[in-house]
Amino acid sequence: MPSARLVWIEENAFLGTDSHQHATLVSSQQGEAVYGVKPTELFLMSLAACTAVTFVQVMQKKRQALTALEIDVEGTQHPEPPWQFERIRMLYRVRGTDLDPQAVGRALELAEHKYCSVAASLSEKVAVETGFEILP
C-alpha cells in the first residue's frame, strides 16, 4: 500500500519520505523557506513520472529503441483559493532509433488513460492536453 510521511522542518518547509525512506524537500517557497519543491509543482512532477514509467515500459515491449525522454509539464491554476488546476499541458520529447510515431502515440495513450493512477485521480474538471515530439 502506498504511504508517505511529511515532517515539518521549519517555517514553511517539510521533509517528505515515502515507504522506502526516499526523501524530498517540500516548501511553499515563501519567507526564508525557499528551498524544496512547491507542492503544486511536485504534483505536476508526479503526473509526469507516473506516465513516464508506463510509457518507457510500453515502448520497450513494443521493441521501440527509446534512448531519451523528457516531459515538460505546465499547469494553469484557478486564481482564487484553493487554486486548483484547471488545465495541465504535457509535452513529451522522445529520442530513439527509428521510432514509430504511432507506437509513441499509443504508448502515451496507455500511460495516461489506462495505467497512471495520478492521471486517473484528477478531477474531470482538469483539462489535460498532451503532445509529443520525436527528436532527431
Q: Could you please state the CATH topology (level 3) that the domain comprising 1-37 is classified under.
A: N-terminal domain of TfIIb (2.20.25)
8 A C-beta contact, residue 132 and residue 68 = no
Domain boundaries, the chain: 1-37, 39-135
pTM here is 0.92
Instruction: Classify domain 39-135 at the CATH topology level.
Output: GMP Synthetase; Chain A, domain 3 (3.30.300)
pLDDT one-digit tens code per residue, 26-44: 998 887 767 899 999 999 9
* DSSP codes, 28-62: ---TT---SB-HHHHHHHHHHHHHHHHHHHHHHHT
Residues of the chain with pLDDT under 70: 33
